[in-house]
Amino acid sequence: MATPIFKASSSSFTVSKNYNLFQFLHTTIPSTPPPPKVFGTISFSFRRRYYSLVACTPSSSSSSSSSSSDSNSDSRPPVVVGPRLSLSSGAHVIPHPKKVEKGGEDAFFVSGFNGGVIAVADGVSGWAEQNVNPALFSQEFMAKASSFVEDEEVNYDPRTLIKKAHAATSSVGSATVIIAMLEKNGILKIANVGDCGLRIIRKGQVVFSTSPQEHYFDCPYQLSSEAVGQTYLDATVSSVELVKGDTLVIGSDGLFDNVFDYEIVSTVGTYDDVSNTAKVLAKLAHAHSVDLRYESPYSLEARARGFDVPWWKKVLGMKLTGGKLDDITVVVGHVESS
């Protein structure tokens, strides 16, 4: 099965933390404070530097001094016991150029439940070789997962949500899946199977990143309708303490195979609106994906794994380059006081 939301064709959504999945097509983004800017670099030296007021930016030194003044105090509560937090999210989807009509094979949902839930699934395209529409499994998986978000048995645990959604699917196919659930105390719980990804950007840098799971290059762990696939037991489960102002970037491998982390950090630091940020990142990923000369994360990884152009092309100075044509799904969440 599939609902319109899972068949979005190059469309953008905005989700207020107060809206759930079935309302969010009609919501508008609440204004958010501008994220911190990226630190600049300075003249290069091979000597490791120590941190001095002179060497650092006003924003960092002020935040540092304000916190360091507290370093010997037992009275101040840890960050996570601060104001209750929730996500304001925006998303953008750009299907594979050859799959625009069907809307591609990625699926996602966003929910305002508890502190907020973001999930992305990427249908494995190889199923097309078996005359199976790869979009159906990922779409059904996300639909089932969204229906179980508030389930008592799930109890805010993304791995249990993967378990229940997987058990409820009836479509043939397989998908990589990532689900992130934020509790209002600031704890983000993440369950990840395959090569969808998540980045947490804080003060202009990535402070947390998921690692893709794969059997071999371009063959990710995947939840499948077949017995050979992975299950919730294969998910990498982690949690991170978020603070107000953090930005989450969650997406399918179509984003992370075409866009470097420094580009994600730079984009997050440039746009205040989560919907704009998602749109800009998706368009950047798409632009790279169709650029045959671009040295994408995907092409660099391929060369690092020993894949390259034929020897006679190497002789001519050529090498394996280019982005990766793929469905691109980007969901950006901004952590705010609820």
Indicate which single residue of 233, 290, 316, 318 sits in contact with a copy of itself (rule: CB under 8 A): 233
User: Closer to a copy of itself at the Cβ: 15 or 235?
Assistant: 235
Q: Which of residues 23-82 bind a copy of itself (CB under 8 A)?
A: 39-42, 44-53, 55-57, 60-61, 64-65, 67-72, 76, 78-80
Distance, in Å, from the CA atom of 180 to the CA atom of 130, rounded to the nearest integer, reads 31
Please tell me what DSSP assigns to residue 232.
Answer: G
Cβ at position 24, least distance to a copy of itself in Å: 28
Q: Determine contact, residues 159/165, Cβ cutoff 8 Å.
A: no
Indicate which single residue of 13, 19, 141, 221 sits in contact with a copy of itself (rule: CB under 8 A): 221
Cβ at position 216, least distance to a copy of itself in Å: 5
User: Closer to a copy of itself at the Cβ: 198 or 278?
Assistant: 198
Stretch that binds a copy of itself, among 8-16, 85-93, 140-148, 166-174 (CB under 8 A): 166-174
Cβ at position 309, least distance to a copy of itself in Å: 10
Radius of gyration of the chain (CA): 21
Question: Rounded to 5 degrees, what angle do the CA atoms 299, 300, 304 make?
Answer: 115
Indicate which single residue of 144, 163, 279, 334 sits in contact with a copy of itself (rule: CB under 8 A): 163
Best CA proximity match to 281, nearest among 254, 246, 242? 254
| 156 burial via Cβ count (<10 Å: 0-12, 13-18, 19+) | middle
Distance, in Å, from the CA atom of 167 to the CA atom of 230, rounded to the nearest integer, reads 12
Q: Which of residues 275-334 bind a copy of itself (CB under 8 A)?
A: 302, 304-307, 324-326
User: Closer to a copy of itself at the Cβ: 5 or 255?
Assistant: 255
Q: Kindly state the helix (H) or strand (E) to which residue 33 belongs, with its residue range.
A: none
Tokens 């949690």, residue?
239
Q: Which of residues 111-130 bind a copy of itself (CB under 8 A)?
A: 124-127, 129
Q: Which of residues 82-111 bind a copy of itself (CB under 8 A)?
A: none
Please tell me what DSSP assigns to residue 54.
Answer: T
Cβ at position 57, least distance to a copy of itself in Å: 7
User: Closer to a copy of itself at the Cβ: 21 or 248?
Assistant: 248
Cβ at position 71, least distance to a copy of itself in Å: 4
Q: Which of residues 127-156 bind a copy of itself (CB under 8 A)?
A: 127, 129
Site string for a copy of itself, 169-198 (x = CB under 8 A): -----x------------------------
Distance, in Å, from the CA atom of 329 to the CA atom of 327, rounded to the nearest integer, reads 7
Cβ at position 337, least distance to a copy of itself in Å: 17
Tokens standing for 156?
């805010």
Distance, in Å, from the CA atom of 24 to the CA atom of 146, rounded to the nearest integer, reads 13
Please tell me what DSSP assigns to residue 173.
Answer: -
Handedness of CA 239, 240, 245, 247 (dihedral sign): negative
Question: Rounded to 5 degrees, what angle do the CA atoms 228, 231, 233 make?
Answer: 130
User: Closer to a copy of itself at the Cβ: 100 or 167?
Assistant: 167
Report the SS3 class of residue 117: strand
